[in-house]
Structure 1
């Protein structure tokens, strides 16, 4: 009977621990892998980070976890920016789709889940912007909000 009482006493404590873990405020936060560029590229990305807007397409800025000056986000995971990413292999594909938006060139890649990934071209750092599937249905108009900050902080050229 003592064993039964000990188990009953432990159950509420275990339930409370489980409920607390399930209600963690970080559960619904967007995450993004942080790139690891060289020092000169990281400086360009830090400058870009300081110029990024607080709102894009009505979405508030909510930077993903882990926090970094190399990543930014809007609307949770609706729009995620990563600066200093490696050169996309698709840039070598002559069939790859590209576009220019307000003086910034972008490689455009549709992902299997319906999201889109856009990566800058002909800049000294590769900047990647991903729109989730829902936001991608609204088009790539949000890229206009990135053109000014990118042109101001990431010079034209070829990234390492």
Structure 2
């Protein structure tokens, strides 16, 4: 319906129209993802900045749309967003013997395309993957319902190029 067609506009209709225009103008901001920016040490921070430079423009068919606040330590693709955070602390589950032995159903170690990951199912249904055996920890959150294998396959070359194998501080 075109609200400008009518010659007579009721006084009550104007505030509703202003509210509608204001709300639609703000809706795109509401759709943007946000991510907490990690605070890594100098060495890991530099590796993460290197990673940001080689991350793909597209992951699992989704275009890169970085979360707010803007940072070289975070990246995002799609909506709902696949979120990457580099320089995160080591997940406590990485030291849990139950995980290493495969006895923790919510945290599973594994590898994709030469990158080792710890997979953790989150309460909301998302999956969080954190790199293992790299000089900086990279965390990737994959929204519920999305196949994570394509995401990890697409990110593996950049991670291998920018974050060398080893044990993070």
- TM-score, length-normalised on structure 2? 0.80
Contact 2:49/2:72 (<8 A) preserved: yes
Aligned to 1:103: 114
Gapped runs of 5+ residues in structure 1?
Answer: 1-8
Aligned to 1:26: 29
Q: Secondary structure at the match of 1:95?
A: helix
Aligned to 2:57: 54
Shift of 1:26: 1.4
Aligned residue pairs, count: 149
Contact 1:115/1:132 (<8 A) preserved: yes
Shift of 1:77: 3.4
Measured on the aligned residues, the alpha-carbon RMSD in Å equals 2.0
**1:87 equivalenced with 2:90 (yes/no):** yes
Aligned to 1:3: none
Which whole-Å CA distance do the structure 2 matches of 1:139 and 1:74 have between them?
A: 13
Gapped runs of 5+ residues in structure 2?
Answer: 1-10, 100-107
Which whole-Å CA distance do the structure 2 matches of 1:143 and 1:33 have between them?
A: 21
- TM-score, length-normalised on structure 1? 0.84
1:36 to 36, 39, 43: 39
2:126 to 115, 118, 133: 115
Q: Secondary structure at the match of 1:150?
A: helix
1:71 to 71, 74, 80: 74
Q: Secondary structure at the match of 2:71?
A: coil
